[in-house]
Structure 1
Amino acid sequence: RQSEPGELSEAMDASKKILEGRIQALQTKEEEYLFQVEELEARIKELSKGKLAKLNTVFSPRRSKTAITVSTKSIIITQKISEGGGSSAELYSCLVDGWSVVMKELGTSTMSQASIEAFSREIRLLELMPPHPNIVRYLFHEVKDNYLRLFMTQYDCSLGSYIRAMKESGERIPLKTIYRVLLDVIRGIEYLHSQNIMHRDLKSENIFILYGERKEIQLCAIGDFDTAKQVSNTKTVLGTPSWMAPEVMAASSTEGYSFPCDSL
């Protein structure tokens, strides 16, 4: 049957209300975006004038010359990545002040003093180390009463994850990629040793990669420094057993752990 004029009018009114509602929602979003833009512009002005508060520094009287200064008032955790290594810290992917970073967090209220000291040592070591492309980039850290947080550059995945993914897909890792990984790791180790730093737990899970546009490995960086030490020599035998150098596994109490042991 043909619609009556009154029914058409009601349908038009209903459609109009729906469209008005959508317009209102879009206007609200626009206002939110404009507010965010204004906040970012204000932040840029503060950065340019150097008015942002300095980050809390406790581990050394010296500050890193390359530390990023940001506000940690708003931290948005987007994903829990994994447990963060020997210090029992946890890794998160998050947004901090508009930066996409990795946060390594250790809750201090329930952790042993040894874990707290290991994590503090890692923060101090990374903070004071001059930046290098094959070493995970320190950005900043935060110290509170019940937790320690270390913020670093976001990488795509660990070398261990990449190897497992290739194995599961049945693909061979190209020889060129293997050479690239080895070269980057060697450069990273060489740099660490030039700074009198031994990593002491090198393995695929502690090597992080960045992909290029074609999903090829573009860069490898060594990370997870909670077992690292800045000394000329040490007698400590330490590391992940399946990844430890043979001479470390066989070391007696009188033999040291020297730089040649820092190898894959």
Structure 2
Amino acid sequence: MAAEELDPTQSTQQSTQSSSQTTTQGDPCLPDKGVWGSLIPVNDANPFVKRIDFLKSKLSYTIGRSRRDPTVDVSFKYFLRMSQVHCVFEWDGEETSTSAILIRDLNSSNGTYIRGVRIGRNESRLIRDGDEVSFAPVSHRPDRTTRDDRDDYRFKFRHMACKQRSREGLYESYDVHCVIGKGAYGTVVKALHRRENKWYAVKMFSGDRLRELLSATVSGGSARRMDATAAHLKQEVQILQGLRNPYVCELKEAFFEGYSVSVVLELAKGGDLMSYALKHDVLLEPEGQYFTYQICEALDYIHSQGIAHRDLKPENVLLTDDAPPIVKLADFGLAKVIDSLSDMQTRCGTPAFAAPEVFDDSTEGYDKVVDSWSLGVMLFMLLTRKTPFTDTSNEPNWPLLEDFNLSDAGVDFIRRLLELKPQARMTPAQALNHAWIAAQGPKQRARLLQREESLLREAARRQATPTPEERVEESQSKKRKASVQQLGKSMSTMSVGNEDGPAAKRTRAEQGIIVRHAPEPPRPVMPWTPIDPNSDEIPGLGLLQE
């Protein structure tokens, strides 16, 4: 029987799957023993889609809009762009790391898409863990506020056929929760570290995408050279993993499985600087000084480690949920390592924020001061909501800063960042001593100390969870301790009974049984027999003395 899609008038707790499917109510991305694959909705705001599980008892599932066609296993009746019988997911039945799952288009009208690439009509493609699947072209509207979430039928596919997958690599320590965004090379998910009780952001980079990039970047594309480059990639990630700065988004660890990479990053819950600026219309000058100092600290640190960001923009400046927020410079990690597989001559970055020498073919590479230029452009835009340059002039619109009442020191700060000659451009280290932000230093350090103390107190409250072996040992220890305590209480409460009064009652904790199905009758009180000093009987034993 075909699965019925969720009706908006029904409870959102109802399943979208057929009776032959089950929906796990826990972590939506954890592998399940009885499941060989799952489709996880990318957009949780769509009320018509839920997680879809493919059970191992059935090797293929047909997707479509029809509710009457008996061949359709999962039906999306409200997705009008889907064909009546759209595509089919097929599993080869293997439960090893080499198990294969393919998706076959069934002559659909609007197409079936993997990672944004359309599958030909009646053609098949292998689908891998983490791939994004959609059953029609993804529409992008310029006005994001008017996008209809109910028309978003994108899913992330999870390959769960391998029995050991749930305890390998990333899943050995992390519970993956949900998709929170998409990066340049993969999907970003939110994950919980089970032992630390702490949330992280995980960037999952598609193996196919990295393989294509390596093949195109490495001269000749030979397997040996690609493997050597991949090994170099791991070394670079280890370098990034060692970065420690309060204003840099921490790369905790990375997991490599073939060409697929999962990078665990510090989770910044406050959004990014662009969203912050849009929410507040423009940044006031004190806010600009506050954030700029932190960004310069982060840039100076990564430059001292031999790393250039090369794509500095408000979207890559993440914020914590503190009040006021703390900057976390991000997106200079694995994506930048991949971009720089050859050398610094790679023409990368967002054009609006990129320094002039990046696009100058006459120059041989460029220096880390490209980040200073990007900072100047970004700061100008955040303070004025306009770009510093126009189509008709290469000279920054300096009068606009005066219109927004920026101080002379602030104007000079931006002028020195937007120097056309890289040699004359102010570096982040020099910027920290500039009069416009130098006074921020002591204030920022004091705030960091307060935040560190707060985090330490929180970590003390959130103690690491014990391992399964530790749980068993702790449980056995508690049982032994409870038995000894119960024995001690029983012996310490022994007393001479009172014929006229009821027997002493034990508390529910002492009873060891929480629920009683019926009240027990009171036990009869046995009074002590008076002792006859002239008797030959031994008191309490009923034996005669010889």
TM above 0.5: yes
| C-alpha distance in 2 between matches for 1:110 and 1:75 | 24
Query: 2:297 corresponds to which residue?
Result: 187
| C-alpha distance in 2 between matches for 1:202 and 1:71 | 29
| C-alpha distance in 1 between matches for 2:209 and 2:371 | 32
SS at match of 1:134: coil
Amino acid across the alignment from 1:261: V
Query: 1:49 corresponds to which residue?
Result: none
Query: 1:234 corresponds to which residue?
Result: 344
| C-alpha distance in 2 between matches for 1:247 and 1:207 | 23
Write the deviation string for residues 57-77 of structure 1: whole angstroms up to 9, x where unpaired: xxxxxxxxxxxxx98425333
Write the deviation string for residues 17-49 of structure 1: whole angstroms up to 9, x where unpaired: xxxxxxxxxxxxxxxxxxxxxxxxxxxxxxxxx
Query: 1:205 corresponds to which residue?
Result: 315
Query: 1:79 corresponds to which residue?
Result: 178
Gaps of 5+ in 1: 1-69
Deviation of 1:120 after TM superposition, in Å, equals 5.2
SS at match of 2:240: helix
| C-alpha distance in 1 between matches for 2:366 and 2:348 | 9
| C-alpha distance in 1 between matches for 2:293 and 2:313 | 15
| C-alpha distance in 2 between matches for 1:71 and 1:193 | 30
Which stretches of structure 1, 4 residues or longer, exceed 4 Å deviation after superposition?
A: 115-122, 228-231
CA contact (8 A) 2:243 2:250 kept: no
SS at match of 2:298: helix
CA contact (8 A) 2:211 2:259 kept: no
Deviation of 1:253 after TM superposition, in Å, equals 3.6
CA contact (8 A) 1:134 1:220 kept: yes
| C-alpha distance in 1 between matches for 2:235 and 2:285 | 37
Q: Structure 2 residue aligned with 1:89, among 186, 204, 210? A: 186
Question: Aligned pair 1:174/2:273, yes or no?
Answer: no
Query: 1:223 corresponds to which residue?
Result: 330
SS at match of 1:202: coil
* TM-score where L is the length of structure 2: 0.30
- In structure 2, the CA distance between the partners of 1:255 and 1:71, relative to structure 1 (3 Å rule), is closer
| C-alpha distance in 1 between matches for 2:214 and 2:313 | 20
| C-alpha distance in 1 between matches for 2:234 and 2:279 | 33
The structure with the larger Rg is: 2
| C-alpha distance in 2 between matches for 1:198 and 1:112 | 24
| C-alpha distance in 2 between matches for 1:241 and 1:178 | 23
Q: Structure 1 residue aligned with 2:368, among 252, 259, 262? A: 259
Query: 1:131 corresponds to which residue?
Result: 244
CA contact (8 A) 1:105 1:147 kept: yes
| C-alpha distance in 2 between matches for 1:90 and 1:243 | 24
* TM-score where L is the length of structure 1: 0.60
| C-alpha distance in 2 between matches for 1:77 and 1:149 | 12
CA contact (8 A) 1:197 1:230 kept: no
CA contact (8 A) 1:198 1:230 kept: no
- In structure 2, the CA distance between the partners of 1:134 and 1:230, relative to structure 1 (3 Å rule), is farther
Amino acid across the alignment from 2:313: K
| C-alpha distance in 1 between matches for 2:192 and 2:340 | 31
Gaps of 5+ in 2: 1-168, 216-229, 376-546
Aligned length: 183
SS at match of 2:202: strand
CA contact (8 A) 1:235 1:253 kept: no
Query: 2:261 corresponds to which residue?
Result: 148
Deviation of 1:121 after TM superposition, in Å, equals 7.1
| C-alpha distance in 2 between matches for 1:121 and 1:162 | 35
| C-alpha distance in 2 between matches for 1:160 and 1:115 | 32
| C-alpha distance in 1 between matches for 2:236 and 2:365 | 22
Deviation of 1:115 after TM superposition, in Å, equals 6.5
Write the deviation string for residues 182-239 of structure 1: whole angstroms up to 9, x where unpaired: 1111111111111121111111111111132x4x22x1121112225899x8333321
The root-mean-square deviation of aligned C-alpha atoms, in Å, is 3.1
| C-alpha distance in 2 between matches for 1:223 and 1:152 | 9
- Percent identity over paired residues: 22
- In structure 2, the CA distance between the partners of 1:75 and 1:234, relative to structure 1 (3 Å rule), is closer
| C-alpha distance in 2 between matches for 1:122 and 1:207 | 22
- In structure 2, the CA distance between the partners of 1:92 and 1:175, relative to structure 1 (3 Å rule), is same
CA contact (8 A) 2:295 2:329 kept: yes
CA contact (8 A) 1:89 1:106 kept: yes
CA contact (8 A) 1:78 1:92 kept: yes
Query: 2:418 corresponds to which residue?
Result: none
| C-alpha distance in 1 between matches for 2:295 and 2:183 | 20
Deviation of 1:113 after TM superposition, in Å, equals 3.6
Deviation of 1:111 after TM superposition, in Å, equals 4.4
Amino acid across the alignment from 1:200: R
| C-alpha distance in 1 between matches for 2:260 and 2:234 | 11
| C-alpha distance in 2 between matches for 1:162 and 1:115 | 36
